[in-house]
Amino acid sequence: MTRKFKVIIVLLMLALPPQALASRFSGLDGDPQLRSASALVISRDGSVIYGKDADTVRPIASITKLMTAMVIIDSGIDLDEKITVTKADRDRVQLTGSRLEYGATLSRKQMILLAVMSSENRAAAALGRTYPGGLTKFVEQMNLKAVELGMKNSRFADPAGLRVENVSTASDLVKMVNAAYGYELIRQASTTRRLEVYPYAKRGPLTYGNTNRLLKNANWDIALSKTGYINEAGRCLVMQASIDGESMSIVLLNSFGKLTPFGDSNRLRKWMLAQK
């Protein structure tokens, strides 16, 4: 290819109208009537398909666990090393229970799988506690990672997302979802529907299921997801999903009702496809 021909091609590309490069879902009319307090849908090219209170700072509950997984993987620590749940991992904030009793032992990789797919709080707590330098250093690293990702309105306070001080915005969480998508293990964990683990030497397996029921829905093509809930945060859901072949980052925060984030996701998808 001659230099002159290359220049012509570049000029032609620059002459293309901006909408030629934008998502085909851009500029949709109407309102999907979502019940989540904050919502944001962004296409892979950065087009905002839908936004609602996207810059309001809110508690994010177990969405936090995506950051926990990234920090653990980034550290290069041995994921095959066995770690054991102790009393230090119990939830003293929301007082939630766990099937991982004191003495339960699994590899770090398995703890990541349980924390992300099934939102297992003690698994996330054990990951943070056994981080080099301990829990304080781990939380510090979570916040440094947030700065690195440009999450200017986000703060992290614990690895499980149990503290109300874990806060972010829908705009910031799109950045975290996109970053988490770059980790194969997180994609695997967040889309695994069922998993058996053997945390006790002389007992049978524990079977865990994914907290995102949309993974069972044939209409959805989900590459990454995470749910979250504490009273202060409401029901939360983040996903990277393909809608009609186009990849989207979806963030839904502070939904009222256990099924509302899934209903909002379906309303979004129906609204987008109806106007395409």
Between the alpha carbon of residue 102 and those of residues 67, 108, 121, 186, the distances in Å are: 25, 16, 13, 25
The two structure tokens encoding residue 56: 């309001």
Cβ proximity of 63 and 226 under 8 Å:
yes
| Separation CA 214–CA 110 (nearest Å) | 23
Q: Which of 23, 47, 65, 255 is catalytic?
A: 65
The two structure tokens encoding residue 216: 């069972």
Cβ proximity of 132 and 77 under 8 Å:
yes
Q: Is 270 a catalytic residue?
A: no
Cβ proximity of 251 and 226 under 8 Å:
no
Q: Which of 36, 38, 119, 168 is catalytic?
A: 119
The two structure tokens encoding residue 231: 């009273």
The two structure tokens encoding residue 89: 């991992």
| Separation CA 73–CA 142 (nearest Å) | 12
Cβ proximity of 212 and 237 under 8 Å:
yes
* Total H helices, total E strands in the chain: 8, 11
Cβ proximity of 100 and 120 under 8 Å:
yes
Place of tokens 């980052």: 249
Cβ proximity of 240 and 265 under 8 Å:
no
| Separation CA 35–CA 58 (nearest Å) | 15
The two structure tokens encoding residue 18: 């901006």
Q: Is 242 a catalytic residue?
A: no
Q: Which of 36, 47, 62, 265 is catalytic?
A: 62
Q: Is 119 a catalytic residue?
A: yes
| Residues annotated catalytic, as ranges | 62, 65, 119
